[in-house]
Structure 1
Amino acid sequence: MSLPQLIDDLQRLSEDQDSADLVFICGRDERIIYAHRLMLMARCKSFKTAKRGEVCRIPGCTVSPAAPGASAPTTIRLPHVNPDLFRQFILYVYTAKLVLQDSQVFQMMMMAQDMGVVELRTACEDHVISTLSVDNACTFLTAVMDIHEKAGRQHKSFNTISNVAGKQPQAGITAEKVSVTRNRYAYRCGGGARCAIEIT
């Protein structure tokens, strides 16, 4: 069997509701996404490190285990998760395929951190480092600020630091200067605002 065929088969498995033993209910609109516990145990530390009697250790989740002997899947509620992004994450878990977008890369990084998929978090960091420029710096910043606003707190994976000498940078404003290190992306935007995103 060729590798492309294997990836295609795994993608079909990720979409197979009949064999799935996990149901994720995501977002405010409670979108349903199916998965297989064995796959997640193989790929995600949040499932690998679960203690006896636990299903997973995903921050902010609520687990409703199936009754003993029942054929119904275990339900995991993730009300804070973007359903479309989580579906992309599940597809990555099965196939290692993912197209990262500037506007969602920090959400995916946060998801990778919470689910315990180190190589995906690293891929997200590498994407930011390799693509950050004066043209998209404020897109990244706006994405992080949006996450913080929705969460009501700063996520442990990264912090936004702003030393505002003028106006707070808004979407559509182009950065004037960018500097990048492994864990810090700093830039100066129009209006004199100096900002940084730190990965912790």
Structure 2
Amino acid sequence: MPEALILPGMADAEPDLSTFENKTGLAEDMKFLASMPELCDVTFLVGDTREPVCAVKAVLASRSRVFAKMLYAAPSPQRKRETSTKENKLRLFLKRSSEPLLNLQNAAQQPSGQQHQTLIIEEFEPDVFRQLIEYIHTGCVTLQPRTLLGVMNAADYYGLEELRRACAGFVQCCINVDTVCALLASAERYIQYKCTKTLVQKVLEFVDEHGTEVLNLGSFTLLPQHVVRLILAREELRADEFTKFQAALMWSKKYYDNNPNIDIKEILGTFCEYIQFHKIPANVLMREIHPLNLVPYAIIMNALAYQTQKASTPESCLPTLADNTIATVTTTSRCPRSGKPSRSPSARDAVPRSDEVPIMHPI
């Protein structure tokens, strides 16, 4: 309930005066205003679906210089001619047509009048732009992880610095296991904006810290393919290699369900180079991974060969296993530390590299 406020010192000097504020009521009235198309004088068609979002030009212009320039800048002569031609065609059509409008709802959302403007906004999603317009009209908005990145970039784009700071502050407390995938997924659309880069870095640091939990999330399958590769390739990721494989397999199955024309083996193959199979125990390789028939046999054999050689050879004499590949050795030499014979690699007998496995184009 609004209350009467007495300013400090006013009680003694002006006993008959008080200040009454009803900010909540004003915000609700302005929100109602923006929801009534017939009371608005600009309609934005937002996103790929061209969803209509109505607003009051004077309110937008008073709150944002970007909107002021967009809405009140004098149109070029060519634009004036194009607008005039469209209006003439519309008048002729309405004059000839005697049929009722089929979609009354859409008709109500497009107010008539010479001063009404219609603009297309492609940079932001409808939900994001609607929240931005709500904030401009009412000074209030409910921030949520799903649209946070879009709202923060929209606030920066339209010069609403106080909203951008609020979003940046909310990021610090909203990054958790439940929201991390939604934040990364939304970053895909706004990657060209500077605010996105800062947020993505913070989110990836959280993913590194909670790797096992994040990789086991069902929402992990909603991430773009290149984001999944980025996560699996991070050296700082705190997750064992079998957990990484399971996450890649889960993502591949989800993608295959939506794209059955693509071989799931090819989909999973795009992640194999980021998984160090030689660090997965031999019994897990043979019991859990090999029966799936999704990982090239050469990769599994390479991993098993490395583990066998590691068990019988000093660490300093082991060859480096790169890209899940290890060469079969044919000649012998002596280990510099132990003096025991060690085998040197031969290109003639090398096991085919995993990167020779057919790899699908980026999805």
Deviations 1:115-135 (A, max 9, x none): 111111111000002333466
Whole-Å separation in 2 of the counterparts to 1:99 and 1:81: 17
* 1:31-50 superposed matches below 5 A: 31-49=51-69
CA change 1:31–1:49 in 2 (3 A) is: closer
Q: Which residue of 1 aligns with 2:124?
A: 81
Say which of 31, 37, 43 aligns to 1:11: 31
Q: Would the aligned equivalents of 1:104 and 1:143 in 2 still touch at CA under 8 Å?
A: yes
1:23 touches 1:33 (CA, 8 Å); kept in 2?
A: yes
Partner residue of 1:141? 184
Please, which of 60, 74, 78 is the counterpart of residue 53 of structure 1? 74
CA contact (8 A) 1:66 1:75 kept: no
Could you say which residue in structure 2 is the equivalent of 1:27?
47
- Normalising by structure 2, report the TM-score: 0.38
Structure 2 counterpart of 1:118, which letter? E
CA contact 1:23–1:74 (8 Å) conserved in 2 = yes
Superposed CA offset, 1:156-198 (max 9, x none): 33325679xx9xx8x9438xxxxxxxxxxxxxx7774559xxx
Q: Displacement, 1:72?
A: 4.7
CA shift, 1:44, in A, is 1.5
Helix, strand or coil: the match of 1:158? helix
The structure with higher relative contact order (CA 8 Å, sep 6+) is 1
Pairing 1:173–2:194 present:
no
CA distances 1:36-64 after superposition (whole Å, capped 9, x unpaired): 1110011123124558426xxxxxxxxx9
Q: Distance in 2 between matches of 1:52 and 1:100?
A: 31
Q: TM-score, normalised by structure 1?
A: 0.65
**Larger relative strand fraction:** 1
1:156 paired to 2:200 = no
Could you tell me which residue of structure 2 aligns to residue 177 of structure 1? Answer: none
What is the deviation of 1:137?
4.2
Alpha carbon RMSD of aligned pairs, Å?
3.7
The DSSP-based 3-state class of the residue aligned with 2:146 is coil
Instruction: Could you tell me which runs of 5 or more consecutive residues in structure 1 were left unpaired when the two chains were aligned.
Output: 55-63, 175-188, 196-200
Query: For residues 79-133 of structure 1, what are the alpha-carbon distances to aligned partners after superposition, in whole Å with 9 as ceiling and x for unaligned?
Result: 2321122112111111122111122211111111111111111110000023334
Between Structure 1 and Structure 2, how many residues are aligned?
A: 163
In the alignment, which of 78, 96, 100 is matched to residue 143 of structure 2? 100
Gaps of 5+ in 2: 1-20, 76-80, 88-112, 217-230, 238-363
Maintained 8 Å contact 2:45/2:53: yes
